[in-house]
Structure 1
Amino acid sequence: MPGARTSPTLRRALTDVEDFSATLVPGYRLRPYQLPAARAIIASVLGREGRQFAVVFSRQAGKDELLAQVVAFLLVRHARRGGNVVVAAPTFRPQVALSRDRLLNRLRCNPLTAGLTTVHDGYVVQVGRASARFLSASPGANARGQTADLLLVANEAQDIEPDVWDAVFDPMAASTNATTLFLGTVWSRQTLLARQMRFLRGQEARDGGRERLWLVPWVEVAAELPAYGARVRARIDQLGPTHPFIRTEYCLEELDGEGGLFPPHRLVQMAGDHPRRHRAEPGRRYALLLDVAGEEEAGTGPRAFDDAARRDSTALT
């Protein structure tokens, strides 16, 4: 909150996101590979540059932590002046709720913002006059009418329908030309995330390489977190380096499989990690089940928010 009486340490924390993270959220301090993207996003917001960015980290490497701390930094900086951040995710539960709760935790774990942080209507996190609104990008969600004048975010953008984003969310930044951030996992060329990555690569090429896209595969994370590297190597040994899950989630490679019966993300959902059996075990019964084009019934609880659950499909198990 610039202008308030603060120590030099706190003034630095409100100027640079690395100091903010180290001083106010020391238990979740941002790692070196997270900082370049965080700084560029914040600079664009503070400078009202209206730039677009994409951040793609290997699985469990901290993209959501980066998002939480960038949003926390912006809310603190704009607590007196005001401003809105809009964060969209494919489903409200669990994805939107998890992002909201992570931001709340980071804001409440330090004395500077704990007393200023409130929650409204279950989806609005407020710090002073600044707010972050967490919205579902499910096709059936009622998300229209919001305005993002600080930052507009598509989290897990690979699972957000491009038509929904273009019609419902992108206009939220139109009147302000707010900075826009896409985060997610690489799948195929058909996703919203892949589309934006291609666009940003083209922009980087045209303006001399000004960075807009950050890709951090598992080997870069492992260089700073040896335990992470050991875990991923074990998964590679188990599944093989060409497994779709390894190639997309850890190596950040697009799979060109949309032309087949099952797109890459469906193949990953169908794959199991149980040991393969080449023959029946004595004394056990086995069943071959065929469900022809049967739509899953409406679920309850968190499953009801999963758009992938209700589809016409034929299943052989």
Structure 2
Amino acid sequence: MGTRTTPLDATEHELTLGVPEESEPAANSLDDQALIEDIISKIILVIDDLSGHPLRPYQLPLARRILESLITEDSAKITALWSRQSGKSETVADTVVGAAIMLPRLAKLFPKLLGKFAEGLWVGVFAPTDEMSETLFTRITGRLTSERAQDVLADPDIDDKLITRGKLLRLKRCGSHIRKQTAHPKAQIEGQTYHLVIIDEAQAADDKVLNKSIAPMLSSTAGTLCMTGTPSYTKNGFYEQIQKNKREANRKGRKTDHFQVDWKEVSKHVPRYRKFVESEKERLGEESDEFKLSYRLIWLLDKGMLVTSDRFDALGDVSMRVVQEWHRSPVVVGIDPARKADSTVVTVCWVNWDYPDEYGYFEHRVLNWLDLTGMDWESQYYRIVDFLNHYNVFAIGIDAGGLGDVVASRLRVLMPYAQIVDLKSDRTNQTKRWAHTMDLMSKGLVIWPAHAKTRQTKNWRRFRQQMEDAELTYQGPHIIVAAPEVDAAHDDYVDSLANALYLTADIAMPEAEMHNSPW
């Protein structure tokens, strides 16, 4: 490499210092984590040297997570939803090239941890069409054929050579190869084995091809799947995986597998990008479909979702925190009793009884939630009563039928001062409930706390996730709102909120003293 000093010059010494090969820790042990982090950091240094500039702060987490998943064999399904021209392809390409060069080399030093890369890193680059896959593959090819990469490959410690054959890039000595393939439904693509599969423009990928043909290519290697793209008008496997990754991130000890970068985040680090997008915003309009999809990362699913992320943010009051106690005016409460894996959720809503709008609708504000998970019902009753004693409860709405009947009967005994309302659960009555909820939200008459500290709480994160997950469907004259039929998706917070809101549609207004709103 001449006189130019690169991270490669120190990599082997630094990684092996104090960790001789014969004492290499067992893969995935607690002692191994520090070594894994060190390996990742050294590969990042190589990536930065190959590209000629460090990864930007918003690029680094995605690169590190891909490397971590490859090393730990956790078979992660990583999603990246980034605005157009934000450096997504560059990040993935740099990470793939750095890993293809370094992992086989490091496998000789740490055979227990990285032994599966002894014959190379195998990468498949897919997109819905062959033309789409060309974008990322060209970026990878350009990085591997660059002068910097050639210097690295010529280093005596690396001593490798790039061989290009149409849709295949191969490092001759270490065995790493990167193959471009299409994810088109009519393509015959079975038969390959990969450690890492990248699906670019995943919003347009065919779910059947992904699940039947592509994902099994990772089975024998416990490989990593990385899906990248931008929003669309319809749901698909990419959207569902994003939602799943967001839900899983709320669980204790789980890794972050979704990485979202909108134009504002990129603009903090790339002034020219801000300048261009600002001009596009003026040309297209901030509320245009094109700008929402390409730069604001908004899925345009209005006809199929109860509330979009954009609408959810609009209904949140960033100055409002949860209210732990309220006795100045009557509140309404909705309870969704737990069924099997679900949680019992109690939602308390303040109502502006004194100022209905011209149609008789009241403003509602969510004051607080109680989430009871994994608790027997005898204990739940008293937790609910204790929680609601902090509020001036006017009425409590509970789904009638099944467990709801039992809960309502018990609370009538424990809380004789409150109206316990049985809400029928047949489709006709559910339609009325959801129609009322949707009317209130469309008029901006449902508001929830969104203070920065509130947004950090587990209850708020679950509330947001379930509200944005809730699917809206029409079956004849009926409206049905429910969680998607996927693992870890629930609608307890959604049902609980709807039960509380419907109480103001069917119950006579209570007498309340005049008071100033605290908001």
TM range (shorter): 0.7 to 0.9
The one-letter amino acid paired with 1:172 is M
Structure with higher Rg: it is: 2
Structure 1 CA distance, aligned partners of 2:123 and 2:100? Answer: 8
Matched, 1:153 2:193: no
Structure 2 CA distance, aligned partners of 1:55 and 1:138? Answer: 21
2:85 matched to which residue of 1? 60
Structure with the larger RCO, 1 or 2 (CA within 8 Å, 6+ apart): 1
Cα shift at 1:185: 0.7
Equivalent in 130, 141, 145 of residue 176 of structure 2 = 130
2:67 matched to which residue of 1? 42
Cα shift at 1:191: 2.3
Cα shift at 1:153: 1.5
Work out whether residues 85 and 131 of structure 1, in 8 Å CA contact, stay in contact via their aligned partners in 2.
yes
Matched, 1:113 2:153: yes
How high is the TM-score relative to the length of structure 2?
A: 0.46
1:18 matched to which residue of 2? 44
Work out whether residues 47 and 97 of structure 2, in 8 Å CA contact, stay in contact via their aligned partners in 1.
no
Percent of pairs with identical residues: 27
Cα shift at 1:196: 1.0
Equivalent in 112, 115, 138 of residue 101 of structure 1 = 138
The one-letter amino acid paired with 2:188 is N
Structure 1 CA distance, aligned partners of 2:239 and 2:40? Answer: 33
Cα shift at 1:189: 4.5
2:187 matched to which residue of 1? 141
Mapping of 1:201-220 within 5 angstroms?
201-208=246-253, 210-220=255-265
Work out whether residues 222 and 229 of structure 1, in 8 Å CA contact, stay in contact via their aligned partners in 2.
yes
Structure 1 CA distance, aligned partners of 2:50 and 2:121? Answer: 21
Work out whether residues 50 and 178 of structure 1, in 8 Å CA contact, stay in contact via their aligned partners in 2.
yes
Gapped regions of structure 2 (runs ≥ 5)? 1-7, 15-38, 106-117, 155-159, 305-519
Report the structure, 1 or 2, having the larger strand content: 2
Cα shift at 1:217: 0.5
Structure 2 CA distance, aligned partners of 1:241 and 1:139? Answer: 35
Equivalent in 278, 283, 287 of residue 238 of structure 1 = 283
Structure 2 CA distance, aligned partners of 1:68 and 1:31? Answer: 14
Change (3 A) 1:182 1:190: same
The one-letter amino acid paired with 1:24 is L
Cα shift at 1:207: 3.5
Gapped regions of structure 1 (runs ≥ 5)? 1-5, 260-317
* Alpha-carbon displacement from aligned partner over 1:140-159 (angstroms, at most 9, x marks no partner): 112111111x2122111011
* Alpha-carbon displacement from aligned partner over 1:82-126 (angstroms, at most 9, x marks no partner): 231112111112x22222221121112221137521123x11111
1:89 matched to which residue of 2? 127
The one-letter amino acid paired with 2:47 is S
Equivalent in 275, 289, 292 of residue 247 of structure 1 = 292
Matched, 1:222 2:259: no
Change (3 A) 1:34 1:10: farther
Cα shift at 1:258: 6.7
Work out whether residues 14 and 20 of structure 1, in 8 Å CA contact, stay in contact via their aligned partners in 2.
no
Q: Which aligned runs of 4 or more in structure 1 are off by greater than 6 angstroms?
A: 9-14
Work out whether residues 96 and 134 of structure 1, in 8 Å CA contact, stay in contact via their aligned partners in 2.
yes
Work out whether residues 196 and 223 of structure 2, in 8 Å CA contact, stay in contact via their aligned partners in 1.
yes
1:297 matched to which residue of 2? none
Q: CA RMSD in A?
A: 2.3
The one-letter amino acid paired with 1:20 is V
